[in-house]
Amino acid sequence: MRSLSLLLVLSPLTLALNVPRQASGFFNPAQGGGSMLTDTGNGLGEPLNVIISGLSSSQVLSVSGVTNYAKAIGFSTECLGIHLGDPQSANLGDGNGAKNQSIELREDFGDPNLGTCLESLNGGNHFRVFIQNGAQHDTGALFLAASQEQNAANNHNIVANGYDIGRDNLVSMAVGTKSFGGVTYQTTSQTVSGLLPVGSAGINHGIAIDGIVNVLTVTVQ
């Protein structure tokens, strides 16, 4: 009887240790009826190809937190606060259903105040942020849709292989020790396969992807 009582006491702890967020810091949206593709409004989607793990410092896991982090790694808010184009939505399988992006951040070319105006004009890297914080799976993880886009004259269309390029560029800019606004961040990256499809089926602009997702763990120093 004592053994059974002990088992009942320990069971919730055992179950908690088996929740996916404990191991990886995020929940696979597909397992909750969601998708690792955004909804662009045309029946296609863009890959959520970078995840900032919910195991990161809590200071990073908010709109203001990821904005400061973005400025540390070479991105900033949109030029003069002006957003061109419709926001995209994503269902992260967390119980929130489809929600619009929380923020869009663009490469700032070394100038966090006006540099994104250059990105809007000449093209460059950018990413959309979606937060996994629904009541069913509140991991706090940030799902990013990163891509490399063309200049304004080409309507900011995605360059060839632009989703994989955008992901790789973002990760290379993020990994290591970076600082902004008096905050220092240490970022590590892990490559994960199996979350995204391989190829161009269902992908916006018909651009093929390699199916790789990079999971970043960001620690405030």
Q: Is the full-model pTM beyond 0.85? A: yes
DSSP string over the chain: -HHHHHHHHHHHHHHHHTSHHHHHSS--GGGGT--SB-B-SSS-B-B--EEE-TTS-GGGSSHHHHHHHHHHHTEESPGGG---SPPPEEE-SSSS-EEE-SEEEEE-TT-TTTHHHHHHHH-EEEEEEEE---SS-----EEEEEEEE--GGGTTPBPTTHHHHHHHHHHHHHSEEEEETTEEEEEEEEEE-SSS-SBSTTBGGG--B---EEEEEEEE-
Domain coordinates in residue numbering, the chain: 24-220
Note the pLDDT tens digit of each residue in 98-119: 999 999 999 999 988 888 888 8
Note the pLDDT tens digit of each residue in 135-174: 999 999 999 999 998 876 666 689 999 999 999 999 999 9
